[in-house]
Amino acid sequence: MSLSDGLRRLRNHLAGRRPSAEDERLVALFRNRAELKKELHAIDDERHRLLDRLKLQEGATMRVEEQLDALEQYLGRPEEGYKSLAYFQLRAVWRAAARRLEQFSHELARQQKDRERRQQLAEFERQQLARLADVDRELTEARMLADQLQAEQRLAQRRLAELGGVWNHFRRRKVADDMAARGARIDAALTALTDLGDRRHEVEANPPPAFEGLSLEGRRAVNIAIIAYAEAMYDRLAPSGLADLARQCTLRRVYESSFGGREECILIMQQAARAIADLEAMQDDLADIKARSDRLRRDAIYRVPEDVVPAQDSIQPAAHASAARRPPTANVLLEEYFEIYKALVR
């Protein structure tokens, strides 16, 4: 658009002339050009963002390929084979324990939700029955009042019919006035009855409240039980040393691990296989879990009122009576045994 064209359009605008079709077409073209430039810039920005992500992904892929090459070379040495098998067997023990802990967490959280929902519904029903009882009491009183007023009104009508003659003029007038006042009271009583009936219907039709999720105390109780369950699994694996060995395998790569010679590695693999089968088939000792939960609950400290996971340093492992033959229970929360933070509810 030239300067002369711009001046011409400005002059036409000031003169009150409408722009020509050609001018409108040019304006539309320039608007479309501006929108296209915006879209082009947005597409260019998206392209650069995707290129950056591609570079990051290529870097991650290269690191994985390097790790696979190193693992292939490592496993190619016969002397490292048994160590590698023992390493991955111990990792399998860890995964089996973590899976068991997560299953326990889901089942316990479901049970706690069902329990709290039943309590919520029971409380709602109790309050609803109390409200209905109040309304029924008011309905009874209002119905009795309406019946009494209507009975008095019928008696007054008979009395008015009996008061004949001129000499009863003032008596008839008083009875009629009383009947008019009583009629207003009857109307009010009947209206109150209708309102109370509507109120009772509203109370009956009021739906139960939606369940907003586990309460703070409920989540704390579930998490305490999860910690107790992790302790029980640790004590089950600790005598053979598998609990600590499995944890070390989550902190080290296979190249950095050492379990001794061939015989030691075979023994670990045998113990690991038995431990996995034991974890998959074990029955939950609810009495033991409750005893552990009661102990943990007594010592648990929460840093802020909204916390649902106790402070790590407030978890005091149980002291075993046969401490000479049995290693002490680890602080499963502090040392994050069996992916416990994934199992805890928030």
- pLDDT, one tens digit per residue, over 3-53 is 455 555 555 555 555 556 666 676 677 777 778 888 888 888 888 888 888
Q: Residue 311 is which amino acid? A: A
Q: End of a domain among 205, 227, 261?
A: 205
The span from the first CA to the last CA of the chain, in angstroms, equals: 63
Nearest to 93 by CA among 296, 272, 233, 316: 272
Residues 63 and 160 in one domain: no
Mean pLDDT of the region 233-245: 90
Give the pTM.
Answer: 0.69
Instruction: For residue 250, give both structure tokens.
Output: 């989550």
- pLDDT, one tens digit per residue, over 308-323 is 999 988 888 776 655 4
Residues 223 and 338 in one domain: yes
Residues 271 and 324 in one domain: yes
Q: Residue 211 is which amino acid? A: F
Nearest to 249 by CA among 337, 322, 169: 337
Residues 152 and 252 in one domain: no
Residues 93 and 242 in one domain: yes
Residues 29 and 166 in one domain: no
Q: End of a domain among 50, 73, 96?
A: 73
Nearest to 318 by CA among 339, 303, 299: 299
Domain extent at residue 103: 81-121+214-343
- How many residues belong to the chain? 346
Round to whole Å and give the CA distance between 58 and 254.
24
Residues 189 and 253 in one domain: no
Residues 36 and 138 in one domain: no
Cβ neighbour number for residue 206 with a 10 Å cutoff: 12
